[in-house]
Amino acid sequence: MTARRGLPWLRGGGIFPPVMMATLTHTLAQMRDTVRRRWPALLALALATGWISFAIMLSDEQGRFALPRAYSVKMTCEDDPEAALWHGGCERVAADIAKTGRPGFFDLYTAFVDAHHVASPREAAAARVAGEPADPAFDVRALLVGQRYGLALVAHEFEGAQSRPQAEAVMDEIDKRDRALLTIGRAGLGYDALIAGTLANLAHPGAMIEGASQYVAILMGTAKRSDLATGTPAKR
């Protein structure tokens, strides 16, 4: 009978040579012992990695959401034959629209905070005028005629406004958010914007937790992916 040809360690029908098998077994045993001894540190590392990864993903969603919003602010305030119907208030952000060049990192970080990690304009304005008396004769719809604030995208922020000072406070907060969106828009989808947004997310764990709950809702089919950037419908 002809002897089996090939490598010596294959002649006995084995797959690995004895030395290799011993080394592999020893390595696996060491890994098992390391996991047993250091599982708290390994678990903490896994959680931290997942947390940071989610912050990066959320920053990307927020940046992609900001770009069309910044573009809409610019388009609203462009010259148009019918601009008188909605141009009011554009002069308040004209200087920001006219800015060119890439914003600095600190400006980007501040913009992500202002756009995604503060109270909505309606909530912030209500806090600013808390305690002031309501004006029964005030008509917010009349105030918004011819104003960019009367457009559907932001008009809901004026719901519940009961006086002119409160409505003007809402306008101030919308301007602040729009300036932030325009800053992010000038940066585009660059890595500096991604990192700035990630740091802003990590510095605001409450928003991260809300984002995680929105992500679960997306997986369950009860929310849209854009909700990751905009928050709950009540905050929009």
Helix (H, G, I), strand (E, B) or coil at 147: strand
Q: Spell out the domain ranges in the chain.
A: 57-230
pLDDT in tens, 204-222: 988 888 888 887 887 787 7
For 148, list phi and psi in degrees, rounded to 5. -65, -20
**How far lies 12's CA from each of 15, 23, 108, 220, in Å?**
9, 19, 66, 54
**pLDDT reported for residue 176:** 96
pLDDT in tens, 65-85: 999 999 999 999 988 877 778
Angle between helices 105-116 and 18-76 (to 10 degrees): 80
pLDDT in tens, 12-60: 445 556 667 667 776 776 777 776 777 787 778 888 999 999 999 999 9
Residue 4 has pLDDT above 50, yes or no: no
Q: What is the pTM of this model?
A: 0.79
pLDDT band of 155, cuts 50, 70, 90: very high
For 146, list phi and psi in degrees, rounded to 5. 80, 5
pLDDT band of 153, cuts 50, 70, 90: confident
**How far lies 33's CA from each of 23, 26, 39, 155, 191, in Å?**
15, 11, 10, 61, 40
Cβ-in-10-Å burial (0-12, 13-18, 19+) of 157 comes to buried
Mean residue pLDDT of the chain comes to 84
